[in-house]
Chains A and B, each alone.
Chain A
Amino acid sequence: MDETLGNALVEFHRALEGFQRSFEPFPLIAAHLLEHTGGWRKQLAFKLLPHLGGNGCLIAAVAGGTNTGKSTVFNLLLGEDVSPVRTTAAATCRPLLAANALRAEQGLAGELLANLVPQPLESAEEVLSQEAPEATLYIIEKNSLPDRLVLLDIPDVDSIVLDNWEVARNIQAAGDVLIAVLTGEKYKDEKVVSFFRAAAASGRVVLPLMNKANPGREFAVARAQVQDFCTDTGLIDAPSFVIAHDFALADDFARPIPALNAPADLRSYLESLDVEPIKRHVFQQSLQDFVSQSGDFIARLAEQSGELDGLLRDMSQRAGHYAAKYDPEPDASVGKLLHTFIRSKRGPLSRTLGQIGAITNAVVAPVGRMASRAIRGRLLMETGNVPAEERDIRAHHEQQIIMQTRDLVREFIPYVRALPKPVAALIEPALDVIDIDGTAQSIIDETLRGDSVSDSFRAHAEAKLEEWWSDHKVRRQVLIEIDALLMFTPTAIALPLAMFTGGVGVPEVMALGGPLAGEFFSRIMEQQFADQWFDLLAPWRKEQQARLQTSFENNLIIPLMGDMAEVKRMLDGEPTAALRRSHEACQKHL
């Protein structure tokens, strides 16, 4: 095996570890992403990485359903009673490896089966206990075995003790040869068949052994059953062996396991196998399996990222939808624009008069307002609605925003809860602790900042008004005339009045007249050309809504979806890229 492949595999392994590490903060999504990756990860851990050096030793494991006689077969292969045989099911729980002195030493040093924790077997009962960690590998020295072969007795693949399946699968990945211990009851069982189908597909040598067989008619039934098994697992011309149902009951283990359809008995056959080509084939096949399956996994990561992206976008869209519902009301700063414009269009004389008027207005208006309120109150018994003031407009806006924030989050809650669990788990913690009032307050602070009229909108409004002004020559003229008329009428009234009163009342009339005219003029503009106004304000509204949306984004979406965005970043970014790079490097070696 060449070095570059080894490096590539190590590289991939590191990348995978890095990938898992970076997803550690999100255990659920990590579990979701790594779902159904057990197969190729085991190939990588137990076969591809440890066998880089290659050491000329065939690893044969006795596998199958519970109580089919795996331990019995193991003992028969060794010719002595080593592994405990029990009438009860799911007895063997940890793998037991038998090897000669040299291999046993290697095994204890962890060179034979990497990633398992080797331990010398002190008492045979140990393999029956579930207490030792899953990765434990018991090793016993049996010098009757040659250098080229080690034997393993492993737990079942179908009992209610699910840990046993896991242990069996680890050894399946680590092994080269699997002796499939079958019986008339179990050769068709889904769990058994799928275990060996996976083993055969990844290049392991699978040797069917029909145990407890009916010896009648030269094992005709057993033959048919093995044939069935081979078809189900995709094995072609597999050498098979047989043990008659009364065979194993004797205490004498020193008997060969006869062939059913094989050149020699099982032990001799195992010893006669060509180690190197088998190991190479298993390795190559495992590599192929691994490359194609991990490739699917990497492709799936991209899909996942796409899904998350869709979710993120969907959330933003919802925020946008709510922002579009926001209906900003123009406040004083918007109104001022119009007044400024009109003032700029007046002639110099009216402008001066208007300015005097505006100043007087500033002084007189509050008094007038008070007076009018008093009159209305006393005479007409009006108590109700005082016109909305600046403060009220702001309060109204605040309330609108708070409600929209709340409604948006309210909509999120069932939406998020309906998402698949691992994805929902990315948002739910943030959603659970979200401080709605605080969030709404920051959104308000950002959206209702002092300068509610942007420079670009000011420019736009002025351009628009200017355009209107130049496009509507007649209307413009009428407006100017009215303005002038209104501006000078007070003076016209005031002059003759002054002759009678000797000046008393003239400044009063003029003071009232100026501002009145200004007001009247803008009213006409507002009412008469409301449609133009609407157009004029549309971009301003848009601007406010966009501002709200950005604010939603910053204060709500980002904190809520932070984890998801982070996961997506990782899926798009380095952890995955490293996997992909090393995967490509491995692929070159196929």
Chain B
Amino acid sequence: MPEAFVRSLRTLEALAGYAGPWKALRDELPLLQARVEELKAREKRLDGVLVVALVGGSGVGKSTLLNAIAGDTIAETSEMRPCTRVPVVYHPPGTRLQWEGWKCVSRSALENLVLIDTPDSDTIVHEHRDRTQQVLVECDLILICATAEKYLDEATWSLLRPLQGQRAMVCVETKATPQDGIKEDWLRRLAANGFEINHYFRVNALKWLDARLPGGRSAAVEETYDFPKLDHYLRHELSRERILRIKRSNAAGLLVRAAERLLEINATARATFDTLDEEIAQADKAIARECFEHVRARLFAETHLWAFAVGRETSLRAKGIIGATWRLIEAVRSLPVRLPGWLPWFGLNQSSGKRTADLLGTDVLVDGDLHLISDLIAASYRSHQSELAYHAARAGLDSPQLDAGLNAFDDELNARLVRVITGPARERVQRAARYLTNWPVTVLFDALPLAFLLYSAYIILFEYWKGIILGGGFIIHSATVFFIILGAELFLYSFLARALAWVARRRSVQDLRAALYAPGLSFKAERKMVEDLRAVSEKIESLQSLID
């Protein structure tokens, strides 16, 4: 078999096992599976004999024709209708055949050929028609037998129509008489209905049989019309290659039929998958926006969290007089926040704010779980999800499980938030702290109080040198001035810390936006579903090029 055929068959086989949500495709599966089975069986039988079926209405002379070809009485014939009740299989000895209930005659002189005489297709005995249909499934070549009376009968045509392109067909006009034939009309009607007929034989089998059978009247060969040609066709023209070609073309016909059906289904569904994809992207964006607004309006709007984080980072690095004082103040200031952590039995949970503040700093006190997903966001997620499910149902897909997905979304959101907070946001907080605690700033801040201290010390020493011991008043005075300086600087320092925290927070909002708006935040399962569907759809589309 050509490679394209084998590849298409494998594709069809894979598709026949489809078990996804695409309803239209699943509905097609029983037929597809049957077709794949038949194709596989046909592929296996490629080297075997050619099965030829004689099909037609009752009394057209099928059995007589078989007898004439065999030159012997193989099948019963009668003037009363219907005559043949079960298929009569006429095959060369040694052919392995397993057709239960059929009459097998194993002495055919025809090599590579099994001839089957079928019961009729049109009488009131309906089982005959069913049995004929079974033969049609098995056969490779159909000899459509008909007379002037029966060549246009719907009963026979309706059996043959579904097999168009899947069986080689040959017309045999039986009971030929000197009168005008029906050839032209028959072939015209067949062509108009999409049948492809390769040969046409006009025969009178009875005359041939009469001439052959012992005791029969002899008849001139001319009186048998095309019978010798038909005989020659069956005996000599159906060579191995010819048989192989017929079988291949039949299989290809079936394959094309199966593929066309799938392509048809695909053509209607394809666009809906694209829309669904777009809808998912939109829902994803909407959820991202909601999450962003939600987080920005809460964590990222709370100035004090950032001030706290910058303050703590600063206190870890602070140097010099101002730095030391800052540390002290920070320790006291953060007392109520740290308290619940020390007293776990109090049952006070760490607030999400506290956790964020921790995550913003280096020494992570808690694990990386934020789970900021609020009821509002969860509800909105579910709502978007139900909308997607609705669109999916519209597109003819089975409804996905609605409860699934929220946890995956929660995890993803959490991971992204933690990544922003422990990544760029923390970086900004630390940078702010480093600005405040680098040496030049420390020296700058410490210069004034230090200068004042030195100056005071100088005054004390200088006065002492002059013999004056300065009284408590001076000490108190200079201490007061010193503390005023210290206080003012601390105030300035704290102001700077806040300003830097403000900047860090504003900048981090951009990071947050970038992180949350990156695609793929939500609806993983839905996206996966559409991806799978597209993969299947592409697989089906690949059939197009193969059958071309």
The residues of A with any CB-CB pair to B shorter than 8 Å are: 65-68, 87-90, 158-162, 183-191, 193-194, 214, 221, 224-225, 228, 232, 377-385, 392, 396, 399, 402-403, 406-407, 409-411, 413-414, 417, 436
Smallest beta-carbon distance A425→chain B, Å: 17
| Chain A residue at minimal CB-CB distance from B297 | A383
A87 and B180 contact, Cβ closer than 8 Å, known pairs A159-B154, A190-B155, A403-B382: yes
A406 and B387 contact, Cβ closer than 8 Å, known pairs A88-B185, A221-B79: yes
| Chain A residue at minimal CB-CB distance from B399 | A410
Contacts between chains A and B (CB distance < 8 A), count: 161
| Chain A residue at minimal CB-CB distance from B394 | A413
Q: How far apart sit A583 and B351, CA to CA, in the bound complex (Å)?
A: 82
Partner of A382 from B123, B125, B157, B353 at Cβ < 8 Å: B353
A186 lies within 8 A of B149 (CB): yes
Further contacts, 14 of them, CB under 8 A, given A87-B181, A221-B79: A68-B149, A89-B148, A161-B152, A185-B57, A185-B59, A185-B149, A185-B150, A189-B153, A190-B122, A191-B154, A383-B298, A396-B379, A409-B390, A414-B399
**Complex contacts, B15 vs chain A, CB 8 Å:** none
| Chain A residue at minimal CB-CB distance from B340 | A380
- Docked complex: B358-383 residues within 8 A CB-CB of A: 372, 374-376, 379-380, 382-383
Residue-wise interface mask of B (379-416) relative to A, using a CB-CB cutoff of 8 A (1 in contact, 0 not): 11011001101100110101100100000000000000
| Chain B residue at minimal CB-CB distance from A156 | B152
B155 lies within 8 A of A191 (CB): yes
The residues of B with any CB-CB pair to A shorter than 8 Å are: 23, 57-60, 79-82, 122-126, 147-155, 157, 179-182, 185, 189, 193, 298-299, 302, 304-305, 308, 336-337, 340, 351-354, 356-357, 372, 374-376, 379-380, 382-383, 386-387, 389-390, 393-394, 396, 398-399, 402
**Complex contacts, A414 vs chain B, CB 8 Å:** 23, 393, 398-399
**Complex contacts, B182 vs chain A, CB 8 Å:** 87-89
Q: How far apart sit A158 and B402, CA to CA, in the bound complex (Å)?
A: 56
**Complex contacts, B382 vs chain A, CB 8 Å:** 403
A183 lies within 8 A of B379 (CB): no
**Complex contacts, A232 vs chain B, CB 8 Å:** 124
**Complex contacts, B337 vs chain A, CB 8 Å:** 379-381
Q: How far apart sit A187 and B124, CA to CA, in the bound complex (Å)?
A: 10
Smallest beta-carbon distance B174→chain A, Å: 10
A381 lies within 8 A of B80 (CB): no
Smallest beta-carbon distance B243→chain A, Å: 31
30 contacts between A and B (CB under 8 A): A66-B149, A67-B152, A68-B149, A87-B179, A89-B149, A158-B153, A159-B152, A159-B154, A160-B153, A160-B157, A160-B189, A185-B57, A185-B58, A186-B59, A188-B125, A189-B124, A191-B122, A228-B80, A232-B124, A377-B353, A381-B305, A381-B351, A383-B299, A384-B372, A384-B374, A399-B379, A406-B387, A410-B389, A410-B399, A414-B393
A384 lies within 8 A of B154 (CB): no
Q: How far apart sit A90 and B153, CA to CA, in the bound complex (Å)?
A: 9
| Chain B residue at minimal CB-CB distance from A418 | B23
**Complex contacts, A159 vs chain B, CB 8 Å:** 152-154
Q: How far apart sit A402 and B382, CA to CA, in the bound complex (Å)?
A: 11
A392 lies within 8 A of B304 (CB): no
A190 and B123 contact, Cβ closer than 8 Å, known pairs A185-B57, A413-B394: yes
B81 lies within 8 A of A381 (CB): no
Partner of A188 from B124, B179, B357, B398 at Cβ < 8 Å: B124
B386 lies within 8 A of A377 (CB): no
Query: Which residue of B123, B180, B376 has the most chain A CB atoms within 10 A of its CB atom?
Result: B123
| Chain B residue at minimal CB-CB distance from A65 | B149
Q: How far apart sit A414 and B396, CA to CA, in the bound complex (Å)?
A: 7
> Which 8 pairs across A and B sit closest by C-beta, in order of nearness?
A381-B353, A185-B59, A89-B152, A188-B81, A88-B185, A383-B353, A410-B393, A159-B152
B149 lies within 8 A of A381 (CB): no
A383 and B302 contact, Cβ closer than 8 Å, known pairs A89-B152, A189-B58: yes
Q: How far apart sit A68 and B153, CA to CA, in the bound complex (Å)?
A: 12
Partner of B124 from A193, A224, A378, A402 at Cβ < 8 Å: A193
A185 and B394 contact, Cβ closer than 8 Å, known pairs A87-B182, A193-B124: no
A188 and B152 contact, Cβ closer than 8 Å, known pairs A380-B336, A436-B390: no
**Complex contacts, B180 vs chain A, CB 8 Å:** 87
Q: How far apart sit A158 and B158, CA to CA, in the bound complex (Å)?
A: 12
Q: How far apart sit A228 and B356, CA to CA, in the bound complex (Å)?
A: 97
A385 and B374 contact, Cβ closer than 8 Å, known pairs A87-B179, A160-B157: yes
Q: How far apart sit A195 and B399, CA to CA, in the bound complex (Å)?
A: 50
**Complex contacts, A402 vs chain B, CB 8 Å:** 383
Q: How far apart sit A369 and B153, CA to CA, in the bound complex (Å)?
A: 91
| Chain B residue at minimal CB-CB distance from A225 | B80
Query: Which residue of A162, A377, A383 has the most chain B CB atoms within 10 A of its CB atom?
Result: A383
A188 and B123 contact, Cβ closer than 8 Å, known pairs A383-B352, A399-B383: yes
Partner of B351 from A90, A184, A382 at Cβ < 8 Å: A382
| Chain A residue at minimal CB-CB distance from B154 | A160
Q: How far apart sit A536 and B396, CA to CA, in the bound complex (Å)?
A: 44
B390 lies within 8 A of A377 (CB): no
Smallest beta-carbon distance A443→chain B, Å: 15
**Complex contacts, B59 vs chain A, CB 8 Å:** 184-186
Q: How far apart sit A188 and B302, CA to CA, in the bound complex (Å)?
A: 94
Smallest beta-carbon distance A327→chain B, Å: 12
Smallest beta-carbon distance A46→chain B, Å: 23
**Complex contacts, A68 vs chain B, CB 8 Å:** 149
Q: How far apart sit A68 and B151, CA to CA, in the bound complex (Å)?
A: 12
| Chain A residue at minimal CB-CB distance from B161 | A160
Smallest beta-carbon distance A71→chain B, Å: 13
A189 lies within 8 A of B123 (CB): yes
**Complex contacts, A65 vs chain B, CB 8 Å:** 149, 153
A66 and B305 contact, Cβ closer than 8 Å, known pairs A87-B182, A414-B398: no
Q: How far apart sit A407 and B402, CA to CA, in the bound complex (Å)?
A: 10
Q: How far apart sit A358 and B390, CA to CA, in the bound complex (Å)?
A: 48
Smallest beta-carbon distance A384→chain B, Å: 5
**Complex contacts, B308 vs chain A, CB 8 Å:** 381
